[in-house]
Structure 1
Amino acid sequence: MEMWEPMLSKLMEGDLNLSGVWISEPKLDGERIIAMREGDNITLWTRRHVESSYKFPEIIMDLEKNVKGNNWILDGELTVPGGFRKLLRRNTEDKLKISLLSRKIPATLNLFDILRFQGEDLTGKPLVQRKKVLLDAANQGEHIRIIPFKIVTTESVKEDFEKALKEGYEGLILKDASSKYEAGKRSGNWLKLKRSETIDVNVIGATKSTGSIAFGALILEKDGQYFGKVGTGFSDNRRGEILNLLEKNKAAIDVDLPDDVDVLLTTRPLPAEIKANEIVKGKPRAPVWVRFRWA
């Protein structure tokens, strides 16, 4: 089965000045998913090409029931009540636990784009046209939701952003209504407005400590590449809590680490935020820990 790389958004920098027609969508606290159907086979794929359909039977059932056709590719964000931290609890291989968790922590696939419908490639069409196809092809269901969107102007974005934060969202995603779908690209046609000037990263492990503290630093990844380490911004007690979380999410990684990184353990990617004075040669200078993205 062919793999699809999702289109990514850029963090909005400088003064916002929108020209043309733009739409806004709320920024959700979940995991990006590409959903695909070929005939009777429906699959869910993460950004790292991990097939996770069997972990979310409620999503598969709703897609089969609420999306027309038998050949399509959808883009969306997978969420559960309580945010990404609760979503991590759905990461199990145990069939009995999967069945129980699908009822105890039910997931929702929040759809916002469609890349193919009935075999037709839609990535070259403007976003507004893809949105229309999506609305025609998919119905809302118990575990399927179409992410709301609206036309915005430079003047209305601030009010929409503040409203989104009050409603519990992480911010806004702004998209050029005429833009094509640029698979695998972090494009300026999609802009991300967040609650603070932070950098999105993934924690993929921790380094050994030279003293009595739980670990030395957190190992970071961004866009599939090693992104340095962060060792400041948390107390010793907080380090212990973080290490417990990391141990529960141990996993092998496919990111090349420098030889001087003294690895304590590696984990599945855990979304987080850091602050840094600047980016130098692709790495943050003087990074400071902010939070895991669900915190």
Structure 2
Amino acid sequence: MFISPMLLETAHSPFSHSNYIFEPKIDGHRLLFSQQDGKIRLYTRHETDCTLQYPELLHTLDDDIILDGEVACTDPDTGSVDYEMVMNRFQAKKADKIQHLTTIQPVTYVVFDVLQYKGQDLRKMPLMKRKEILSGIRMPNKYFGVIPFVEAAGEALFTQLEAQELEGMVGKKQNSTYESRRSSSWQKVINWTYVEVFITGYRKEEFGWLTSVITESGRLRPTGIIELGVPPKAKGAFYGVSQQLVTGEDKNFVHLEPRIRAKVKTRNWTKKGMLRSPAFVEFVV
């Protein structure tokens, strides 16, 4: 059974509030665990069935249940949560590869809510009551965990998460019911990394600016495409200047001299040295 998940709005900055609890934001992908009549199905937030991808999670609980949480991988070398690893797990399709990855890149299912238990729909209960029920449920194996939270002290928690270079924080109203939509009752605060880049081209069709950084050897290295956060005024200013900087083009892009600099915010760097979901902040002059 699939339930459309409750989604987060974005808070502009870390905050504290006596009516909220605050949790670490886990850098994985959303996962709903549904056990009905002893049969387990796993779903992404978009209702993609990913039951076969995570065999280590296919262990029954003591009764029918629907859990909401995040599935993530930890890099065994660094001990840090690794988004690319969990995406590698998610994209694996062949049974032998999935089984192999289970041994070398096991996932953890970090549970933060319970939506149904023992035949009862819990979504109309306040969050703290659902948390109380969740705390009393025995998880089936070491691949399951329940996320910790603090009450009121969001800014102090965010400072700790920044120091650990974790993805961010989620603030949730203590009395919030579970709504299958985006809601201001749950708000995320991302621990952004800020980077200055050169804009070295732009996409011909749909919007996108090519980015690069200068390496220690003084060469330009591509770092991905900015698609997010660019207001109309910035787009207008860019296209007004960029036509004087064109050096060539190919099928998909117009290429520019590296003269325009921009500050971007990004979730982090990929292992291949690319910006992950970069968003424009401002031009650098």
Same fold by TM (over 0.5)? yes
Q: Post-superposition shift, 1:45?
A: 0.2
Does the residue aligned with 1:50 lie in a helix, a strand or coil? coil
Residue aligning to 1:164: 161
Q: Structure 2: which amino acid aligns with 1:150?
A: V
Contact residue 7 and residue 181 of structure 1 kept, 8 A:
yes
Residue aligning to 1:9: 8
Contact residue 67 and residue 115 of structure 2 kept, 8 A:
yes
Counterparts in 2 of 1:15 and 1:158: CA distance versus 1, 3 Å: closer
Q: Name the count of aligned residue pairs.
A: 228
2:173 matches 1:173 = no
Q: Structure 1: which amino acid aligns with 2:203?
A: G
Q: Distance in 2 between matches of 1:88 and 1:193?
A: 22
Residue aligning to 2:209: 231
Q: Structure 2: which amino acid aligns with 1:193?
A: V
Q: TM-score, normalised to structure 2's length? A: 0.70
Q: Post-superposition shift, 1:30?
A: 0.2
Contact residue 273 and residue 291 of structure 1 kept, 8 A:
no
**Fraction of identical pairs, as percent:** 24
Counterparts in 2 of 1:159 and 1:14: CA distance versus 1, 3 Å: closer
Q: What does the per-residue CA deviation read over 1:12-55, in whole Å, with 9 as the maximum and x for residues that have no partner?
A: 1378463x521110011000001100112101100121111111
Does the residue aligned with 2:57 lie in a helix, a strand or coil? helix
Q: Post-superposition shift, 1:138?
A: 3.3
Superposed CA RMSD: 3.4
Residue aligning to 1:195: 191
2:230 matches 1:276 = yes
Residue aligning to 1:216: 203
Q: Post-superposition shift, 1:197?
A: 9.3
Q: Distance in 1 between matches of 2:10 and 2:132?
A: 26
Bigger radius of gyration, 1 or 2?
2
Residue aligning to 2:29: 31
- 1:78-157 aligned at under 5 Å gives the runs 78-82=71-75, 83-90=82-89, 91-139=91-139, 141-152=141-152, 156-157=153-154
Q: Post-superposition shift, 1:275?
A: 3.9
Contact residue 192 and residue 267 of structure 2 kept, 8 A:
no
Q: Post-superposition shift, 1:288?
A: 7.6
Q: Structure 1: which amino acid aligns with 2:26?
A: L
Match of 2:62 among 61, 68, 74: 68
